[in-house]
Amino acid sequence: MAASKNAAVVGNGCVACGACAKVCPKKAVRVLRGVRAVVDPERCVGCGKCARTCPAGVIVMARRDSL
């Protein structure tokens, strides 16, 4: 799967539940120190699974050129 024009971005309010990391097909999302999730834009393919799964609704898809 080629990278899309979008990549996931985790906003404030992340509850570090790990749901996003579990559904990421490319292992681009991980939870740091049990505090918040972070996305590796180099691995993110822009599928949006993490954003749809986030129970806090704080993951959004953003244009790569704005990151």
Rounded to an integer, what distance in angstroms lies between the CA atom of residue 32 and that of residue 34?
Answer: 5
Domains of the chain: 6-66 (3.30.70.20)
CA 24 to chain centroid, in Å, comes to 8
Q: What is the per-residue pLDDT for 66?
A: 75
Q: Which two tokens stand for residue 34?
A: 């049990």
The pLDDT value recorded for residue 18 is 97
pLDDT of residue 2: 53
**Are residues 24 and 18 in contact, defined by beta-carbon separation less than 8 angstroms?**
no
Which tokens hold the place of 4? 């899309």
Q: What is the pLDDT of residue 64?
A: 87
Residues pairing with 6 in the sheet: 63
User: What per-residue confidence (pLDDT) applies to 53?
Assistant: 98
Alpha-carbon span 25 to 66, nearest angstrom:
23
Residues of the chain with pLDDT under 50: none
Whole-model pTM: value is 0.88
**Which pLDDT score, from 0 to 100, does residue 3 have?**
59
